[in-house]
Structure 1
Amino acid sequence: MLDPRWNTFLAVCETMNYTRAAERLCLTQPAVTHHIHYLEDHYGCRLFSYEGKVLRLTEAGLRLLEFTRSMAYNSRKVENAMASPVPVSLRVGASKTIGEFIIAPKIERFLRAQPDASFSLMVDNTQVLLRELEAGRLDFVLVEGFFDRSRYDAQLCQREDFFGVCAPGHRLAGRSVPLDELVGERLILRESGSGTRAIFEEALHRQNYTLDSFSSVVTISDFSTIKSLVVDGLGVSFLYAPVVAQELKAGTLARFDLAEVPMSGAFYFVCLKDNLFAKSWVDWMHES
């Protein structure tokens, strides 16, 4: 059972406003202030400070937030586990590549093994999923791309090839292409915050290029639309192998690679630090 003062601290962190935190917790504002002052006295440091009229977490507050998120999450899960009988409940987040092309067999296996389970899957880009994880609304996430691993417990699930795709008759098809030749092409990419886009942008940066180097960049969040446009010869894209496996086999898309920048991507299992339930979930993810 979590100390209610930590719940108050988390509410202030989420709202960054004492009044709104009090409304959310059905407390008075003086009570919220008292809880925060108690924690500051107990730990001997300031947890919040004002910059003008804007409330900010101090460095000490950020450290406490990291610990408290994990404790609050574990506390809720333990209470649910102790409520008997209670069905298994699992809330998973997956980045779009994983959610649309990889995770379905694992969900099917879980539901067959747990017929009474409550299961939800949120598919979104990596940055959105990490925010939901930190807010305690997801048990764990499966993400691609780049994130601050020091803030979470993270384990590698698998690696996948990452490469360019174009229409079969395109001049780039089947080639190893220099970046200075690619910049004349229209790029069709996922939105900012997606792991797919982050992998490609990081590869550009390694060669001192950015998306501004290209004459035309189209942003689309839907894989089906991206692939359809590429098939129609309206641009090229960069995607993971599982996303285009069927199209490459059918010959409706062709692969090309960047000559100077071999690319691959990693998919990670990510949860809050010190999660008491992480091991069983990791084992489930690695089951064949």
Structure 2
Amino acid sequence: MNTFLTVCDTMNYRKAAELLHITQPAVTQHIQFLEKEYQCHLFLYENRRLVKTEAASVLEQYARAMRYNESSIRQELRKSSVRELKVGATKTIGDYVILDQIHHYLADPDHALTLIVDNTEHLLWLLEENQLDFAVVEGFFDKRAFESRCIRKEPFVGICRKGHPFAGRNITVEELLNETIIHREEGSGTRAILEQKLRGYNESLNQFRRHICISSFKLILELVKAGLGVSFVYKVLAESAPELDTFSIQGEAIVREFNLIWLKNAHVQDKIDSFFTAGTIPSLPDDLL
């Protein structure tokens, strides 16, 4: 199974063999064993490119969950008095939303926590590599690969400094394109949402007069406060800085889900409950839920 998952990660028998420190024929033998055991093909070549079959995609879900569950069993059998959670959160959520949950969870001296705050893309990879128990993200993810639960819906708004011509307005996309846009790096949920909104107008980040890519929300806020550009963030973050004002783009308002996600078939419900029953996620009005 470990060989199978390594081939899924690399989609290359030679690279899988190098990572596993075994020969390429041994990798082939492992895959053939699984194909014989489950009576299905797992990988095929299309135009000399290795591709997964539908059966391989199903098996991959179960194999990743099985690896996670096996690790959890080992941890449980050690009978440690301290319970450690490995939680991932995207930057808005990690820095501005789940602080109460962290405080309440760590108030128990028998609780330990590893919190990884990163972009959505990297957190999904960490989940698949069994390095997280669960994550809370605001970006897009494959619902076929992960179980999920919406815990909150949050407006996505434009921000500018106080006194800016955009402040409090509903602007056109043409007005926006004449500004300097400050945005997150590739792989971040907020950048993906902004790019999706722009595609609705047949525009892209490259159409801006100037664009600046910053991976830190703290620095983005400081640059916007200084009048060096405008940006787009979740309302909870915009409200954290009184020196800023908000604006919107004409058209349908953007509201996105904050989702709790974990591997399909992974036994994590008790861990989720131990973290989220410790405090409450702030909720928006019912008309946004």
Is it true that 1:220 corresponds to 2:207 in the alignment? no
Query: Which amino acid letter does the alignment assign opposite residue 54 of structure 2?
Result: E
Residue 104 of structure 2 corresponds to 109
Higher mean alpha-carbon deviation, 51-60 vs 228-237, is at 51-60
Gaps in structure 1 of 5+ consecutive residues: 1-5
Q: Any idea what the Cα deviations from partners look like across 1:28-80, whole Å, max 9, x if unmatched?
A: 55444322111111222222234576544333222211221111111111221
Report the alpha carbon displacement of residue 272 of structure 1 after superposing the two structures with TM.
Answer: 0.1
Calculate the TM-score normalised by the size of structure 1: 0.87
1:235 maps to amino acid: G
When structure 1 is superposed on structure 2, of 95-104 and 211-220 the one drifting more is 211-220
Structure-2-length-normalised TM-score: 0.87
- Percent same amino acid among aligned pairs? 41
Distance 1:20 1:199 in 2: 34
Residue 39 of structure 2 is aligned to residue 48 of structure 1? no
Q: Name 1:237's counterpart in structure 2.
A: 231
2:255 matched to 1:264?
yes
C-alpha distance in 2 between matches for 1:245 and 1:80? 41
Higher helix share: 1
Match of 1:192 in 2: 186
Q: Which amino acid aligns with 1:205?
A: R
Aligned to 1:166: 160
Q: In structure 2, what is the equivalent of residue 62 of structure 1?
A: 57
Match of 1:149 in 2: 143
CA RMSD between the two structures: 2.2
Aligned to 2:284: none
What do residues 88-126 of structure 1 show as CA deviations (whole Å, max 9, x unaligned)?
12111111111111222211211112x233321111110
**Aligned equivalents of 1:152, 1:129: Cα separation in 2:** 12
Q: Which one-letter code corresponds to 1:261 in the other structure?
A: E
Aligned to 2:77: 82
Q: Cα distance 1:145–1:24, how it changes in 2: closer, same or farther (>3 A)?
A: closer
- Aligned counterpart, 1:211: 205
Matched, 1:38 2:33: yes
Tell me the SS of whatever aligns to 1:246. coil
- Measure how far apart 1:13 and its partner are: 2.6
How many angstroms does 1:127 deviate by? 0.8
> Match for 1:180: what amino acid?
E
Give the whole-Å Cα distance in 1 for the aligned partners of 2:49 and 2:81.
Answer: 43
CA distance 1:191–1:42, shift in 2 (3 Å): same
Stretches of structure 2 lacking an aligned partner (at least 5 in a row): 281-289
